[in-house]
Structure 1
Amino acid sequence: MDENVQNMTEELGKKAPSKSNINEIDFAYSQEVIRKMSDYFDEKVVGQKQLKFSLIASILADGHILIESVPGLAKTTAAKAISDAVDGKFARIQCTPDLLPADIIGTQIYNQATCKFETMLGPVFANFVLLDEVNRSSAKTQSAMLEAMQEKHVTIGGKTYNMPEDIFIVIATQNPIEQEGTYPLSEAQTDRFLIKEVITYPTAAEEVEILKRIESGVISEKTDPVLTIQDINKVQDIADQVYVDEAVKWYISSIVVASRRANQIPGFELGKYVRIGVSPRASIAFLKMAKAAALMMGRTYVTPEDVKVVRHQVLRHRIGLNYSAVADNISVETVIDGIVNSVKTP
């Protein structure tokens, strides 16, 4: 890491105050909203605590989330559960190889009765959009979501249509790229997601609990929403006010810069596996996710530990590894841990 950056981080860390503009009423309100989302998730999904954290944090941070696992591990169930907790418009798009961009964003249809073209908006115009198995669609269809996710509008027939103003979050699921019938997402596409979560198989005890809930009908039972769009808007505003000291911002910057110079970190042998570092979007994602993590942990200020907690979610889809990493069976999480550990905590 750059010596000047390291010195600046250490110096700021010695005098890092903790202050926040969040009052006690707003803080208590945010904790209640988080609790309701958490409880609703637990009613519908067994285990997957890390996924619950990532889903709630991405909503607080107002960002899109990419979820990856082999089929059958409740990716869709979890995504729908967290969105069903909120009384907003929900849309599910099942991606297939023959899915067209117009099937997502909409198109113009000729009305013979009026002899005019009419615009039919697609399912993407919703508060929560579940993009199921996104990497089973073609590259052309995947790119149709780029403008919507980043700019929060789409263009149909030369006219611009805006996404919902209050809240617009895409929850995309994908299968591992080695699965049959998948199309790898481009780096430009994955970078639009605030975070990426990877989930694994449940434990034996969790598997038994799943069977019990299936048998009793609890999982399929319809439950009313416990929150409104206004609740989410307010808690997002509160999360945005979480205090981040200058030392923590330098710490985030140091990690991001280190990812771009991984092969220059002294004594870091894994640096040779890094093909490309992360973009400034990673710094922004770190900032937003650290604020959300702090609020979820009952604090109105961010600590360096909050940054470490979200390191995998923020970086795993942004750091590019070379073929040597695949050949040597080096995971991106291992490389991320090495990069973060190379930066001194303020």
Structure 2
Amino acid sequence: MWGYFQWLIGEWALVQGVLVTAGIAIVAFVVCYLISLAKWGPSEGFYQVTRVVYELIARDLPNTTIKRIYALARLAFQEALRRRVLVVMAVFIIGLLFAGWFLDAGSSNVAQLYISFVMTGTSYLVILLGLFLSCFSLPTDIKNKTIQTITTKPVRSTEIVLGRIFGFTAVGTMLLVGMGRLSYGFIKRGIVHEHEVESTEGAAEGATTYDARHAHQFRMIEGEAVGVTDTVKGHTHVVRRQDDGSFTVGPPEGLLNARIPIFGKLHMTDRSGNVVQKGLNVGYESEYQTFIEGNSPMSAVWTFPAVSASQFQDGEFLPIEMSLQAFRTLKGDVVTGVRG
């Protein structure tokens, strides 16, 4: 697995980013020249575009100051608040208040359902807010002539644009932080539930009550006072045996855990069954992906040191996601798909 700096430097990500930025700048220059060409002609249009680029590089950027950008960003932030952008937060809160009526609490993965709802709502609201602020801010200031109070000051156009960008970024960040805190509380409130032990079979096994549209089974290890229920709807509960022989069930665990990658090692065997590092090359330029031959002793074996059979008992299974690709060496029947 790549580290960040290995990806940034070793995999040429930084160089690719610089090249993409340069390509975008060249495309922007060509588009601006075509517009100037239609308006002023070939020579005058080229002169106008190069003059703007020269003034940007030779005058605007060297004389740009952080202090003026900060002042303009603060002004843009205050103007956005005066334009009642906090209405977006109110709309989000109203959506959270009534979302419980429409979200299926009996879903097989309640946490994923709630997270998808808040993430979708947050994304759409913040994106729409950013579009409206960026598209209508300067035109509105020009229409109301409030931009004249800024342009008459010793500020540059680059500083005005950067100030607006940073100001609107601060507004979006503030809303994201608020929505994030509200979303976390909404999700926690929706997924937290309690169970009690309903019945026990001896001193080692039992079942919980039916709450939040599900129940659990649990088995205590002999000699241990702590056990874990079976996995239902993506979560478990810790069960503790008290001194008087009763049981207590803890809060749900695992509902808000992201996917935890477990890395392993891959080795292959050739046609003779010998261990090799790579499979067959079918002609692809990239050697990252190799193939094994069907109907032969060739195989691909993954080894996961962190996974053991003792972790999966009583019919539990290990979920595996695979992406396989079949390569035909013979055309055969092109209508029939590859079986297996």
TM > 0.5: no
Q: Which has the higher contact order (CA 8 A, sep 6+)?
A: 1
Query: Which of the pair has more CA radius of gyration?
Result: 2
When the two structures are superposed, what TM-score results if normalisation uses the length of structure 2? Answer: 0.20
